[in-house]
Amino acid sequence: MKAGQSTAPLAWEIDEARDWQSHYVEHGFCVLRGLIDGLMCSSALDEARRLIDDTRPLEEWDSIRPGQRHTVYYYGQAPAIDELIEHPALSSVLRTFFGQRAFQFGSTNGADPDRRRFALWVNPYDAGARRRLLPMGHVDSGSPFRGTAIQIALARTSPFSGNTTFFPGSHREMQRWIEEHKEDFDGSWPGGVYPELRRQFPPWEFVAKPGDVVLSHHLLFHSGNPSHADDRSARVSVRVEVFPEHPLTEKRPDSADGSVFERSLAHYHRSNR
């Protein structure tokens, strides 16, 4: 499977010659175009409309109604989206990604407050916004060794539809920084924006069609953006985290020969041998 071609006028373009695995290791993310079939995405979008309680065409959505949403749903509350997350093509990618460590989405025990969940991200047209991509991005809080983040597009978007942007290769800079400041960490991770860290490349915007999927590293700088596309298209996507079934016992793998997951966390060690 190849990293897909962008449909956007990007400042940074994905190298189509790279396979998604090496792309993820080097750049901290990969895009898998059309990984999930349109029919399933259509069902999931219907489910999203039900959850949001707005059946109007997406082009009629705006920042007032239904407004921007970042809503979390637990396993079982949105079966069509649960099914999307369990899509065989995505599972196949994740098996490759985690290798012998295998993967899981979290407990499905209804009594577990930390159980499996996803976030529905809705970023509709904002009449007051400007067409721009934010310049810095941030790294999320939480252990950067916990797995990877998946974003599944449910709707077609255009440039400046409020898409997520990713800063290619910034996960390597962040790893270097952590290695140099490792005495400060006791296992927790606050995340942040780290303006002093150089972003080697301009951001790449995830302009999507339904079924396009991005996997992104937990140390990769990324950002939400204003939604003000010419065609008023709204960004509607599902964001879910996936974890290794067998977690890393060390904070940082010392081997560059392991799974995509392990290799993407081994940059600093590798570059200093």
Stretches 28-36, 133-141, 168-176, 249-257: which one binds another protein (CB under 8 A)? 133-141
Residue 268 interacts with another protein (CB under 8 A): yes or no: no
Contacts of 48 (CB under 8 A, 6+ apart): 78, 81, 120, 122, 154, 236, 238
Q: What is the DSSP letter of 161?
A: B
What's the CA angle centered on 119, arms 80 and 187, to 5 degrees? 130
Helix (H) or strand (E) segment spanning residue 30: strand 29-32
Q: How far is the CB of 148 from another protein (least distance, A)?
A: 16
Q: Which C-beta is closer to another protein: that of 172 or that of 263? A: 172
Number of H-type helices and E-type strands within the chain? 7, 10
Q: How far is the CB of 48 from another protein (least distance, A)?
A: 12
Q: Which residue has the tokens 């709204």?
A: 234
Q: Which C-beta is closer to another protein: that of 26 or that of 173? A: 173
Q: Which C-beta is closer to another protein: that of 239 or that of 252? A: 239
Alpha helices (H) in 123-257, listed in sequence order: 170-180
Q: For residues 142 and 157, give the distance between their C-alpha atoms in angstroms, rounded to a whole number.
A: 29
Q: How far is the CB of 106 from another protein (least distance, A)?
A: 11
Tokens of 54: 């707005």
Tokens of 202: 């301009």
Q: How far is the CB of 121 from another protein (least distance, A)?
A: 6
String of contacts with another protein for each residue 140-159, x by CB under 8 A: xxx-----------------
Q: How far is the CB of 89 from another protein (least distance, A)?
A: 25
Residue 127 interacts with another protein (CB under 8 A): yes or no: no
Amino acid at 233: S
Site for another protein in 78-117 (CB under 8 A): 113-115, 117
Q: For residues 11 and 243, give the distance between their C-alpha atoms in angstroms, rounded to a whole number.
A: 31
Residue 35 in contact with residue 213, Cβ under 8 Å?
yes
Residue 51 interacts with another protein (CB under 8 A): yes or no: yes
Q: Which C-beta is closer to another protein: that of 25 or that of 242? A: 242
In order of 31, 95, 169, 213, 270, the CA distances from 176 in angstroms are: 24, 28, 12, 28, 11
Residue 12 interacts with another protein (CB under 8 A): yes or no: no
Site for another protein in 55-84 (CB under 8 A): 68, 70-72, 74
Residue 47 in contact with residue 78, Cβ under 8 Å?
yes
Choose which of 11, 64, 127, 136 interacts with another protein (CB under 8 A): 136
Residue 192 interacts with another protein (CB under 8 A): yes or no: yes
Residue 269 interacts with another protein (CB under 8 A): yes or no: no
String of contacts with another protein for each residue 160-189, x by CB under 8 A: ----x-------------------xxx-xx
Is-cis flag, bond preceding 66, omega within 30?
yes
Residues near another protein (CB under 8 A) are 51, 68, 70-72, 74, 113-115, 117, 119, 121, 134-136, 138, 140-142, 164, 184-186, 188-196, 224, 239
